[in-house]
Structure 1
Amino acid sequence: MQDFWLFGYGSLIWKPPPHFDQRIPGYIEGYVRRFWQQVYFSEDHRGTPNAPGRVVTLIERSFWATLDDPQRRTERDVVWGVAYHIIPSKVEEVKEYLDIREINGYSIQHTPFHPADSSLASIHCLVYIGMPDNPQFLGVQPPQDIANTINASVGPSGENREYLLHLERALEELCPDSHDEHITDLARRVRALTPPLREIRRPPVHDNALRKVRSTEEQEEIEKEG
């Protein structure tokens, strides 16, 4: 049986995969998180082909250092998120589910994960990354342009701005050190914009208890709910 750990740094933080039995907050090194991946068909469906939304991806430090990123001087190459341990008998089922959920421009990588609890040993995790050569990768984007796009983009699962604001809150709740300036800055910019009137929806009720699911089919239904 396989010992399978998955690192989540975007919607996986608050929309966990099915069949996990451990969830550990922590971080990986050598990357930064950026809203530089466009999306219209994804796990969150926060955009359309005519108006793609934005989701996060990870940028390797060596590549990031070559880019003219306006936040490069203030951002650390540490990305906080969560590691999920998948029940061994369900690993193949979850891998197939994840390949569908993350298929839009994301590739499989592996990286050491460092738990927030320093008494725990490091873990080798699988992570999905939108590599720079994938067709959905946009490269460096002005923060205000990203915020404008996120604010205006809507898909079958709801507003792109909800994805951003959920991510900001999920990171704030992980631990005192899990702040991400890129996410905070974009959330601040988006809050300063008025949501399109036709798309204003009642904010979802936040539930601190992660909802565990029993199958990939049930997980798909939860994602359709937004």
Structure 2
Amino acid sequence: MWLFGYGSLTWKVDFPYKQRVVGYIKGYSRRFWQASVDHRGVPGRPGRVVTLVGSENPEAQVWGAAYEILPQHEAEVTKKLNIREQRFDTRLEMTMYDAEDQKLPHPVMVFVGTSQKELFLGDAPLETLAKQISECHGPSGPNYEYLFQLAKFMRMEVPEAKDEHLFQLEKAVKNILLNINVKFVSSS
């Protein structure tokens, strides 16, 4: 089994895997449109995490990391992910491409939160997203840490990749935090 992560699974892996491949899927955009009431926010004050939304551009890319899960670990990893990724109501099998634009010979499983689920928040103005992310905190830590770690993954692993939504949001959140004098570790 291969699992593709495009959010916290790019930088917070808490399961055994054989190998990790950085690459992308096509036809989607990564957006902070999913509520988190169990990790980066709480009920009544949800944080925001990423989900995938279809793109009008079939060549649009969402970069992430895929993990090969050995058969003897599939049940354990699936059980753990069913809890960790419970806010995502859909699992899709997708084609992934590596950094050299080569199609992987196997599909990857991807967790996606769709608009059919109550935790799907949808789009909002950049300022609204930034304010919510800068203010929310959950059992896994501040919501902005999630954003900064994802931006750091992109800068370190695929610096040539474009993710305008991610980097504009990161800049807006950092500006808010600086204005209220919050200390954070830079992801740059």
Corresponding residue of 2:70: 87
Tell me if structure 2 keeps the 8 A contact 1:152–1:195.
no
> How far did residue 203 of structure 1 move?
4.0
TM-score (norm 1): 0.75
CA distance in 1, matches of 2:67, 2:84: 16
Residues 106 and 203 (structure 1 numbering): CA distance in 2 closer, same or farther, change over 3 Å? farther
> How far did residue 132 of structure 1 move?
1.4
> How far did residue 178 of structure 1 move?
2.6
Deviations 1:121-176, CA, capped at 9 Å, x for gaps: 44310000001111111122111100000001011222101110111011111123
CA distance in 1, matches of 2:83, 2:157: 27
TM-score (norm 2): 0.89
CA distance in 1, matches of 2:178, 2:117: 30
How many residues are paired up? Answer: 186
CA distance in 2, matches of 1:58, 1:121: 20
Instruction: Tell me the secondary structure at the aligned position of residue 193 of structure 1.
Output: helix
Residues 49 and 121 (structure 1 numbering): CA distance in 2 closer, same or farther, change over 3 Å? closer
CA distance in 1, matches of 2:184, 2:165: 26
4+ runs deviating over 2 angstroms: 117-123, 175-179, 194-198, 200-204
Unmatched segments (≥5 aa) in structure 1: 66-71, 207-226
Q: 2:143 aligns with which of 145, 160, 178?
A: 160
List aligned pairs for 1:41-60, cutoff 5 A.
41=38, 45-60=39-54
Unmatched segments (≥5 aa) in structure 2: none
Instruction: Tell me the secondary structure at the aligned position of residue 19 of structure 2.
Output: strand
Instruction: Tell me the secondary structure at the aligned position of residue 172 of structure 2.
Output: helix
Tell me if structure 2 keeps the 8 A contact 1:114–1:123.
no
CA distance in 2, matches of 1:106, 1:197: 36
Deviations 1:3-26, CA, capped at 9 Å, x for gaps: x00000000000124110110010
Q: 1:24 aligns with which of 21, 24, 38?
A: 21
**Cα RMSD, aligned residues only:** 2.3
CA distance in 1, matches of 2:114, 2:70: 28
